[in-house]
Structure 1
Amino acid sequence: CVDIRLAQMEPGDLTGIPVDASSGEAYNNQWQAYLEQHRIERPDVNVHELAKQFQKEQDRVMTWTRPEWFPTEGYGILFVDEFNRQDRLTYNASFELVLDGGIGRHRLPDGWMVVAAGNPISDDEDYNVYSLDDAMISRFCHITVIPDPSEWLQWASANALDPDVINFIAMNNRHLGIEKPKFELNIKPDPRVWHRVSDLKPFLPLHLRSEVIAGLVGRDLATSFLKTIATKDKPIDPRKILASFEEVYEQVVEYVGVPGNNRTDILSASNDLLVGILEKREKDQHPLTPNEGMNLRGYLLTIPDDMAMVVLRKALLWRTCNQELMKDPDLRAKMETHRQTLVDVGAIPAK
């Protein structure tokens, strides 16, 4: 673990110091290689003249030194402490560090992870800290750490603190000064955050899933998300629609329901996923098979017309789909009913 304290740093401590790249060991190595090459070609070369020529050919480039603390190998945790006490001048550099795992041309090895710590903002100004903006908040999974008196007592015993101190706190743990922090962040999820949820979810133990996802998208949204994945009311898998529509037919019919008692929200989400799959097939130039075309036609004939048009307005524009879609007379009749809608987007020609 490498521990750095941002409150004690200046920008150069993070980014490194600018130096002339045409100097030092790298420069000397380039010169030696240049000299050896020309000596092989011309054993009688004038070294003084050759040095002048070498200097003329070199582009002078500024580079940045690597900070001494910056890891270059292995694996571990880069612990960035006092994150919301740092000077505003170092704030932008820390953006790149926590998002990209590096600063400038310096990159953390694959086995390293950035973990930051900060103090909560309190109404009584117990801590001289400032709030993080939305862009920085979205770069972290936020976990509130609440100290536990029993853990402190175990630590105190293991580290041979004075027995009288240990016994007093054991009997009066309210005097340990531990309070639940008021650390309510205004977490606003964005595409990057949901990507992170997708990456982490398969590896999260059940007892950690709620806390970690809440740290990414916020407590209320995490509760809604976990409730949704625990219910059967989910969008229909578009791959099943194409591969074997009969397997999901009853589910589609249930969602279609009757006016006033249907789940058009789920069908709409299913359509979005289906269009995404069909669009990828078009980009990959991977046409629908006759079986997939039959299943897609069955799905479009089962859902309400307005929802079917959402798919057809795009799918009819794609060569990988349109030939299969035109095979079914019932589907063609549905298209004819909504001809003007499809003509307006160029999905079918005007008469």
Structure 2
Amino acid sequence: MTVNEAKYLSQKIMEAGEIPLLIGHFGVGKTDIARDIAKERGRKLIILVLSQMEPGDLIGLPARDENKTKFLAPDWWPEDGNVIILLDEINRAHRSIRNAIMQLLVDKRIHNHVLPEGTWLMASMNPPDENYDQVELITDPAFLSRFFILEIHPEPSEWINWAEKNSIPRDIINFIEKYPEFLSVHDTLSLKASIKPSPRSWYKLGKVLSQLTEEDKKEYLYILASGIIGPEAAKVFVDRAISSDILSPYEVFINGNIPTQMDIHQANGLLIRLVDFITSVDEKDLQELRKKLDNISENLIRLSKVVPSDSFEAFMRMLVNLSNTPGLKGEFCDELIRKLINLNGSQTNSNQ
């Protein structure tokens, strides 16, 4: 999702009393999202860089109170609820720190210290891939189930704005403006694959949905749901349980049910659902889809003429990354890319 989408959804999630987890490479603006929300909502921002903390920094130091031991509040502890606490670098934190913050995530308290009413919590981390040293892949379902996972892939224009504000050399900015495809590659391992639905996750999703308008649901429902109940359950939920106005990947791929126009949010939501569909489909269904590659490629070419060009280019980059996956899935994506290129080339020649 884009930075602006992550910012908007983070507020909706925190308004419902839940916790967004922003995942993105360095430089996408995760901390800036928290700063912007705090500034716009008139809240103080407390940033806890968990990778640099020890348990005592988080839970406070013990002190003697008559014949009992109590823990003193740490110096960062908020005095009122008009704050946002950002738990940064959550997957770089030592396991003892992550164990300590579980009580904060679950009960909004640590030992005898209770967060003031109205305090907002959010978390952030770099993607779980080989590009970051000392990053532990968090797969504990009990830990992940406390968050709404929001994976950020910034639009080139968003990153350029961030780069200009952060004094990135003009040569680099000019290059990305000319060649936006080199901004980043989406080859990270998605934490959403580790998420499974549970009674708790459905409850959390319901709380956030109550904050959304019907228009919000059309644009963001799948993104939100996949971040708390997982892509597979979210796909079924969106396709069958909510609204017939929201297109399913199967309708687009096979039936060619494509709107005549879409705004950028609707387009991004649909393209993300298409990628997640390919990512999560089993081999039996993939074999059937492979027999219909001609139909699928023709429908995707039609879709490319409706969605913004930047959005479809991002979708193609994701297909290229998936084509490197070993086995049938990689072969399917590779064949699909070739057909799309051939179809686009033939249509370009016919128009000349």
TM normalised by structure 2 equals 0.51
Instruction: Indicate the residue corresponding to 2:262 in structure 1.
Output: none
Instruction: Indicate the residue corresponding to 2:196 in structure 1.
Output: 188
Matches within 5 A, 1:50-129: 60-122=67-129, 124=130, 126-129=132-135
How far 1:11 sits from its partner (Å)?
Answer: 0.8
SS in 2 for 1:77: strand
Question: RMSD between aligned alpha carbons?
Answer: 2.2
Q: 1: distance between equivalents of 2:168 and 2:181?
A: 18
Select 2:58's aligned residue among 11, 14, 19: 14
Cα distance per residue 1:207-264 (max 9 Å; x no partner)? 22221111110111012122332369xxxxxxxxxxxxxxxxxxxxxxxxxxxxxxxx
Instruction: Indicate the residue corresponding to 1:287 in structure 2.
Output: none
How far 1:180 sits from its partner (Å)?
Answer: 4.9
Select 1:220's aligned residue among 221, 224, 232: 232
Q: 2: distance between equivalents of 1:91 and 1:159?
A: 31
Cα distance per residue 1:40-86 (max 9 Å; x no partner)? xxxxxxxxxxxxxxxxxxxx221111111121203232110110111
How far 1:14 sits from its partner (Å)?
Answer: 0.9
Matches within 5 A, 1:114-153: 114-122=121-129, 124=130, 126-132=132-138, 133-153=140-160
Matches within 5 A, 1:227-242: 227-230=239-242
Cα distance per residue 1:254-303 (max 9 Å; x no partner)? xxxxxxxxxxxxxxxxxxxxxxxxxxxxxxxxxxxxxxxxxxxxxxxxxx
Structure 2 unaligned blocks of 5 or more: 1-44, 245-352
Q: 1: distance between equivalents of 2:220 and 2:242?
A: 16
SS in 2 for 1:169: helix
How far 1:203 sits from its partner (Å)?
Answer: 1.4
Q: 2: distance between equivalents of 1:108 and 1:66?
A: 11
The amino acid of 2:135's aligned partner reads V
Cα distance per residue 1:22-52 (max 9 Å; x no partner)? 3xxxxxxxxxxxxxxxxxxxxxxxxxxxxxx
Matches within 5 A, 1:145-184: 145-159=152-166, 161-184=168-191
Alpha carbons of structure 1 residues 177 and 209: separation in structure 2 relative to 1, 3 Å: closer
SS in 2 for 1:63: strand
The amino acid of 1:220's aligned partner reads E
SS in 2 for 1:83: coil
The amino acid of 1:141's aligned partner reads F
Q: 1: distance between equivalents of 2:83 and 2:187?
A: 29
SS in 1 for 2:125: coil
TM normalised by structure 1 equals 0.51
Alpha carbons of structure 1 residues 159 and 136: separation in structure 2 relative to 1, 3 Å: closer
How far 1:141 sits from its partner (Å)?
Answer: 1.0
How far 1:191 sits from its partner (Å)?
Answer: 1.8
Q: 2: distance between equivalents of 1:159 and 1:83?
A: 24
Contact residue 146 and residue 180 of structure 1 kept, 8 A: no
Cα distance per residue 1:2-31 (max 9 Å; x no partner)? 111111111111111000123xxxxxxxxx
Q: 2: distance between equivalents of 1:199 and 1:120?
A: 27
Aligned pairs, number: 194
Matches within 5 A, 1:235-314: none
SS in 1 for 2:207: helix
Q: 1: distance between equivalents of 2:163 and 2:127?
A: 25
The amino acid of 1:137's aligned partner reads L
Contact residue 147 and residue 178 of structure 1 kept, 8 A: no
Using the aligned pairs only, state the percent identity: 32
Select 1:198's aligned residue among 201, 206, 214: 206
Instruction: Indicate the residue corresponding to 2:346 in structure 1.
Output: none
Matches within 5 A, 1:19-34: 19-22=63-66
Contact residue 121 and residue 127 of structure 1 kept, 8 A: no
SS in 2 for 1:215: helix
Contact residue 214 and residue 222 of structure 1 kept, 8 A: yes
Q: 1: distance between equivalents of 2:159 and 2:170?
A: 13
Q: Select the structure with the greater relative contact order (CA < 8 A; seq sep ≥ 6).
A: 2
Runs of 4+ in 1 over 6 A off after TM superposition: none
Q: 1: distance between equivalents of 2:170 and 2:131?
A: 34
